[in-house]
Amino acid sequence: MKYYQIDLASLILRIALGVMFLAHGFTKLFVFTPTGTAQYFQSLGFPSFVGYLTIMFEIGGGLLLLLGILTRIISLLAVIQMTVITFIHSVNGWSFSNSGGGWEYPAFMALTALSLVLLGSGRFSVLPKYIAY
């Protein structure tokens, strides 16, 4: 496989994961509101501040992924986040269209993020290779 193909694969995964994180972060911010998100996290047994951190991570991390900055670090944090969410949703069954959302989507997101942990930013990022990786 040629290196540009690996770099292109990394770019495509970064865009896909970054856009999804932005969409979910902005939904928590503008639709569910920060207070509502915090209350939801509390209902799951987490401290309410985790809801606020999640909004910041999903928006900030999504932007960093799109730019190719700190890709491996952001992706590793996303693997952890999505793995936790996978277990939370596991009681609802496989399909994310199930009541309460199943675990297929967060599991897929965790594996996508894991791929980026392994690939890094690639050469199509805004920072030089030694910083972006």
pLDDT digits (tens, 9 = 90+) for 107-127: 999 999 999 999 999 989 987
Structural tokens at position 72: 């491996």
pLDDT, residue 126, reads 87
Per-chain mean pLDDT for the chain: 93
pLDDT, residue 66, reads 97
pLDDT, average across residues 93-97: 87
The alpha-carbon radius of gyration of the chain (Å, integer) is 15
Structural tokens at position 94: 């496989």
The pTM of the full predicted model, rounded to 2 decimals, is 0.91
pLDDT, residue 110, reads 98
Residue, of 2 and 60, whose pLDDT is higher:
60
Q: Is pLDDT above 60 for 133?
A: no
Task: Provide the domain count of the chain.
Answer: 1
Residue, of 4 and 82, whose pLDDT is higher:
82
| Contacts (Cβ under 8 Å, ≥6 apart) of 26 | 59
Closest to 68 measured CA to CA, from 6, 123, 121: 121
The beta-carbon contacts of 29-38 under 8 Å, at least 24 apart in sequence, are: 29/55, 29/59
Q: Is pLDDT above 70 for 129?
A: no
DSSP state of 96: T
What is the number of helices (H) and of strands (E) in the chain? 6, 0
Tell me the pLDDT band of 104, cut-offs 50, 70 and 90. very high
Number of neighbouring beta carbons within 10 Å of residue 74:
25
Residue numbers of the domain that contains 113 = 3-132
d(CA 71, CA 121): 6
Percent pLDDT > 90 in the chain is 82
